[in-house]
Amino acid sequence: MTTADWFSSPDDATERLAATGYLADPATATTAYLAGALEKPLLVEGPAGVGKTELAKAVARASGAELVRLQCYEGLDEARALYEWNYKKQLLRIQATQATGDAATWDETHDDIFTDEFLLTRPLLTAIRREEPTVLLIDEVDKTDVEVEGLLLEVLSDFQVTIPELGTVAAVRRPFVVLTSNATRELSEAVKRRCLYLHLDYPDAEREREIVSSQVPDLEERVAGQLVTTVARLRELELKKAPSIAESVDWARTLIALEIRDLDDKAIADTLGVVLKHASDHDRAVRELRLRR
């Protein structure tokens, strides 16, 4: 796959992403196209539930590429992100060599056990080594420790990983890299400098209705409008977790399953658990929206 094979233009990105069920606005389509054309990692930032992770998945589906995902979390280290050695297998090989009476020197033993046979690849190295088209998703990078960003710099700069025992492993085919961040902390300038940047926010009412209708075509247009309006009102409240786009779609499917044809106060109150996952959010919504059961 050459760089142009990701997307040939922003319009091509819009069409091919839409074919996978992802409705991209012009800024998203343009940035996705540029990430492939320029071979630059794409940093997507915004609140939880606006489609950041889904964008990477959609790019993989649209291009027929394999998705390799590194889920970030506090305490993530090199062994989980890059690679580690299979120490148990190495020890067994050393013991087997000793049992046969072979008088191998340490250099010979070292060369024998530090090979691909004993290497356990993790997402970053896996994506670098793949010869097939690959989308590398580094999800919720803001949840890691600052030190972990140092592990990413070599990958994001040169698309290579240095393994002391084996040398430098450079990508034969550069992956399409998407980093997502909920902006819980500021990322380093070094990481940002190596990436294209895209900020995703909750869509406006018209676009969210398009998304809901595309995912749940059986939902009546009038009910879809009621749902989108209600979700927008919920997002204006001071909630622990505002409804995501995926939860809007789930709510639409719920209304279909329950054969609800009018999203009145009772219907909203009865199904709030689909979009609000904290008791305090549920209570606030009932109070602020003045729902009558």
DSSP state string for 142-193: GGS-HHHHHHHHHHHHHSEEEETTTEEEE-SS--EEEEEE--SSPPPHHHHH
- Does residue 96 carry a pLDDT above 80? no
Confidence grade of residue 4 (pLDDT, cut at 50, 70, 90): very low
- Is residue 152 within 8 A of residue 195, CB to CB? The reply is no
Nearest alpha-carbon partner for 244 in 186, 201, 213, 196: 201
Share of the chain above pLDDT 70, in %: 93
- Is residue 44 within 8 A of residue 180, CB to CB? The reply is yes
Residue-wise pLDDT for 111-170, tens only, equals: 667 777 888 889 999 999 999 999 999 999 999 988 788 888 878 888 888 888 888 888
Residue-wise pLDDT for 18-44, tens only, equals: 999 999 999 999 999 999 999 999 999
Q: Three-state DSSP class for 237?
A: coil
- Is 55 or 109 the better-scoring residue by pLDDT? 55
Measured in whole angstroms, the distance separating CA 159 from the mean position of its chain's CA atoms is 19
Q: Three-state DSSP class for 253?
A: helix
Structure tokens at 264: 């009145």
- Is 19 or 105 the better-scoring residue by pLDDT? 19
| Those residues with Cβ within 8 angstroms of residue 138's Cβ, 6 or more apart along the chain or in another chain | 70, 72, 123, 124, 152, 177, 178, 179, 180
Q: Residue 19's pLDDT is what? A: 95
E strands, the chain, are 42-45, 66-71, 83-85, 119-121, 134-139, 160-163, 167-170, 176-181, 196-199
Confidence grade of residue 199 (pLDDT, cut at 50, 70, 90): very high
Residue-wise pLDDT for 170-193, tens only, equals: 888 999 999 999 988 899 999 999
For tokens 């940047």, what's the residue?
A: 197
Cα-based angle 137, 143, 147 (whole degrees, multiple of 5): 95
Cα-based angle 187, 192, 195 (whole degrees, multiple of 5): 140
Which class would CATH give 3-78+122-199? Answer: alpha beta
Measured in whole angstroms, the distance separating CA 210 from the mean position of its chain's CA atoms is 22
Torsion of Cα atoms, 96 then 97 then 101 then 103, to 10°: -160
Burial classification of residue 202, based on how many CB atoms lie within 10 Å of its CB (0-12 exposed, 13-18 middle, 19 or more buried): buried
Structure tokens at 261: 């044809």
Q: Give the residue extent of every domain in the chain.
A: 3-78+122-199, 83-116, 205-288
Share of the chain above pLDDT 90, in %: 67
Mean of all residue pLDDT scores within the chain: 89
Rounded to an integer, the average pLDDT of 58-70 is 96
Confidence grade of residue 110 (pLDDT, cut at 50, 70, 90): low
Q: Residue 15's pLDDT is what? A: 97
Q: How far apart are CA 231 and CA 233, in angstroms?
A: 5
Confidence grade of residue 90 (pLDDT, cut at 50, 70, 90): confident
- Does residue 207 carry a pLDDT above 90? yes
